[in-house]
C-alpha cells in the first residue's frame, strides 16, 4: 500500500506502519513524535483531497 501511494505521488513519510503493544507507552510516544515531525516537515497535504467548493 505504501509503495502504491509513493508510486502515485503521495510522499512516503505521510504513511507509517508500526506495531506497538498496549504496554509500550514510551514506544508509542516516540513513534507519534517521529510521525508528526516528518509530516510537519512536509506541510499540509493537497493531494487526493476532495474540494467541495
Partner 1 sequence: MDTCIKKIRELSAELLEKGEVQKVIGFAQGTIPMATSPIAIESKQDTEKLVFNSTCGLNLANYASKQKGKVAIIAKGCDSRNIVTHIVENQIQRDQIYIIGVPCTGMVDKSKIATLFEDEITGFTEDGNTLRVTSSSREEILKKQDYLRENCLYCTHKNPILYDVLATELVEEQMLEKPFPDVDRIEALDTDAKWQHFENLTKNCIRCYACRNACPLCYCPTCFVDEAGPQWVGKGQNKTDVNTFHYLRAFHCAGRCTDCGACVEACPMGINVRDFTRKLNKDALELFGWEAGLDITKRPPLDAYSPEDPDDFIK
Out of 22, 44, 48, 53, point to the residue binding partner 1 (CB under 8 A): 48
By beta-carbon proximity to partner 1, the closer residue of 41 and 49 is 49
* Rounded-to-integer distance, Cα 34 and Cα 41, Å: 11
With vertex at residue 15, the alpha carbon angle to CA 41 and CA 6, rounded to the nearest 5 degrees, is 90
| Three cell numbers written together for 24 | 509500550
Residues 11-30 that bind partner 1 (CB under 8 A): 11, 16-19
- Give me the residues that bind partner 1 (CB under 8 A), please: 1-4, 6-11, 16-19, 31, 34, 47-51
Amino acid at each position: 500500500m505504501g509503495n502504491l501511494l509513493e508510486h502515485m505521488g503521495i510522499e512516503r513519510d505521510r504513511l507509517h506502519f508500526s506495531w506497538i503493544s498496549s504496554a509500550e507507552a514510551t514506544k508509542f510516544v516516540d513513534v507519534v513524535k517521529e510521525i508528526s515531525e516528518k509530516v510537519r516537515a512536509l506541510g499540509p497535504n493537497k493531494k487526493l483531497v476532495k474540494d467541495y467548493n
